[in-house]
Structure 1
Amino acid sequence: MSIIYRTSNLNRSSKLFKYIMLYQKLRIPENYTYHCNWHILYVYEKSIEIAKNLHISKSELELVKLAAITHDIGNCVSRENHEELGCIWVRENFPLFGFTKDEIDVVCGIIMATKIPQMPTTLLQKIVADADLFYLGTNDFKAQGDLLYKELSFDSPKLNRKMWNKIQINFMNAHTYHTEYCIRKNEAKKQANLQSLLYN
């Protein structure tokens, strides 16, 4: 499927971006210390970084950006099945900004590719999937992990540090990066972060 890039795309994307960010800012639960606007922008920025190193087209980059900022929008309704809920939101709202069914299908495919366990099949899906878990292979691993622990502890008060470390170890052992860029850039640091948990 080829998507024709139009000169009006930048304007429609800019308007939609502002709408999405405001929508999430007003609706994300206060106890979401990790899955909040800063995480959305982090995934957005990392998606752009990965995409630019993989030389995708302008039209593809536009859809990657939009998928990045909507990949967790379903959390505004419920944490459970939030990817599916996000796709429902996208299908209801993107047409209002001039997006076609084919474009929306691509965005929803990317959103679903971030569902754990990640199973992306296209390059665009791999880009955002890797951006979503980019932090695993960075120096930000502990800080971001602590925010996620705090968020999950709100719903699971019995969750303690020992349990959380075990969850992280199992998760990281099962995780793989999907793009060559992240494999080269992040995998070694991810393994170092894993070792720090094993000997904590």
Structure 2
Amino acid sequence: MQFEEATAYILNKLSSELPAHLTYHCLAHTQDVVRSARQIGVAEGIGEYDMKLLLTAAYYHDAGFLKGAAGHEEESCRMAEEALPGFGYSADDIKQVCGMIMATQIPQNPQNLLEQIIADADLDYLGRDDFFTIGNTLFDELAFFGVIKTEDEWNALQVRFLEKHHFFTYTAITSRQQKKEENLELVKQKLP
């Protein structure tokens, strides 16, 4: 498995080909998910091989945005299935990577520990101090697509999302849940 080459390949595509209007689903988000996945993976005690598969999935999980927002998880899997065999990933490796990519689809439904880790890493910011900074980039992106029009709509959407969301791993629950609840209360205070 040529992990460094496989991830450099997709990073290059993301950095050169993602449209500028993707202010949330951008290279910075991918890098954030990779960092979070690594931290959670280490804390959850996964092995070196599983870590490479996890991080591969983190690098590829939003690659489908290169083709469009609708069905981007499936497109991300297709891109992984096309690219990863050339980097020495086995069919089983790719199946696991695609399972992790699909685990980031909302509503999240991870089926094993690696899928739980990437699901938590993808939404790690919900329980962090930079919640509002990152949230503003998602607001801008959703507004660009016409999904939301006002800040009140955005805050109502965030409240619904935060109330339905839950972390899966022990690590994320113990390190992010309390701050997520605090962020939820701050958003609620903004509602009219």
Report the Cα offset of residue 194 of structure 1: 0.2
Residues 17-50 of structure 1: CA deviation (Å, up to 9, x unaligned): 1111001112211101111101000000000000
Report the Cα offset of residue 155 of structure 1: 1.2
The residue identity in structure 1 corresponding to 2:91 is K
Report the Cα offset of residue 157 of structure 1: 7.5
User: Match of 2:36?
Assistant: 46
CA distance in 1, matches of 2:155, 2:104: 22
The 5 A counterparts of 1:51-66 are: 51-66=41-56
TM-score (norm: length of structure 2): 0.97
Q: In 2 relative to 1, CA 128–158 (structure 1 residues): closer, same or farther, beyond 3 Å?
A: closer
CA distance in 1, matches of 2:121, 2:6: 21
Which ranges of structure 2 fall in alignment gaps of 5 or more residues? none
Report the Cα offset of residue 158 of structure 1: 5.6
Residues 138-175 of structure 1: CA deviation (Å, up to 9, x unaligned): 10100000010011111117611000000000000000
Q: Secondary structure at the match of 2:12?
A: helix
The 5 A counterparts of 1:6-25 are: 9=1, 12-25=2-15
1:198 aligns with 2:175: no
The 5 A counterparts of 1:15-164 are: 15-156=5-146, 159-164=149-154
Residues 83-120 of structure 1: CA deviation (Å, up to 9, x unaligned): 00111111111001111000000000000000000000
RMSD (CA atoms): 0.9
- Runs of 4+ that moved beyond 3 A: none
Number of matched pairs: 190
Residues 43-82 of structure 1: CA deviation (Å, up to 9, x unaligned): 0000000000011111100000000011100010010010
User: Match of 1:176?
Assistant: 166
TM-score (norm: length of structure 1): 0.93
The residue identity in structure 1 corresponding to 2:8 is K
Report the Cα offset of residue 16 of structure 1: 1.1
Q: In 2 relative to 1, CA 158–114 (structure 1 residues): closer, same or farther, beyond 3 Å?
A: closer
User: Match of 2:179?
Assistant: 189
The residue identity in structure 2 corresponding to 1:181 is T
Which ranges of structure 1 fall in alignment gaps of 5 or more residues? 1-8
Percent identity over the alignment?
35
